[in-house]
Amino acid sequence: MKIIIIDDEPLARGIIKEYLTSFASAQVVAECGDGFEGVKAIAQHQPDLIFLDIQMPKINGFEMLELLDHPPAVIFTTAFDEYAIKAFEAHAIDYLLKPFSQERFDKAINKWMNRKNVSLPESLQDEAASPESQNRVVVKKGQNIVVLPVYRIHYFEAFDDYVKIHATEGFYLKKKTMTYFEKTLDASQFVRVHRSYLLNVQELTRIEPMEKDNHVALLKNGTKVPLSQAGYSKLKSVLGI
């Protein structure tokens, strides 16, 4: 079985390797110090299992998982993270709180071996909101990973199974729901103005009436975003008018 360890502390990776020596079939194919390396190594090796730290440079463990189309089985290893425990209980094989014992480690591995045939959820969906996800969205453009700060996002648009994220430099696609972003991001900055649109109010310049009772929002870069009636009144209350 192929295993990848992703943790930014070398000693933390070391102890996992040490504990793994008691499993003859385990083979550590890669060790990574951050999420970028992690994504690359996972694409290259297609591991059966990854050990994943949460707090890591640039992108955290959750954000790294979001970038994978077919995430492998995950065992989280983390020191202390109130958000994490809640978030990954639903999806991970197990989570190990550092420092953990060989016994606890073995239990996690056995859990994985017993669950091996059970299919895993395709990706971490709406529940996995980490503290960082309020301020940034991690997206993939071709082979590049982009950490997009929310202030650069103009609006979100529903796009079949994806959400189209319109930013200053262009748009990105992400396999999430509109509701996820509406719930995760700051409600005073991002307003669901329409079933298919979530708008950054800081990009708004004008609200113009359309025929009948309808309105449209005009953004700084000239884009027009339709407002539903409910969305229009929600926007008005956020803007305080």
**In the set 22, 27, 44, 99, which binds other proteins (CB under 8 A)?**
99
Check residue 131 for interaction with other proteins (CB under 8 A): no
Check residue 147 for interaction with other proteins (CB under 8 A): yes
CA distance 211 to 162: 30
Check residue 136 for interaction with other proteins (CB under 8 A): yes
Q: Which of 139, 140, 177 is nearest to 156 (CA)?
A: 177
**In the set 3, 6, 30, 36, which binds other proteins (CB under 8 A)?**
36
**In the set 1, 55, 120, 123, which binds other proteins (CB under 8 A)?**
55
Check residue 80 for interaction with other proteins (CB under 8 A): yes
Supply the Cα-derived Rg of the chain in whole angstroms: 21
Residue placing its CB nearer to other proteins in the complex, 174 or 194:
174
Q: Which of 177, 48, 173 is nearest to 124 (CA)?
A: 177
- 116-130: buried (b, 16+ CB within 10 Å) or exposed (e) per residue? eeeeeeebbeeebbb
Q: In the complex, which residues of this chain contact other proteins (CB under 8 A)?
A: 8-12, 14-15, 18, 33-34, 36, 55-58, 79-80, 97-100, 135-136, 147, 149, 151
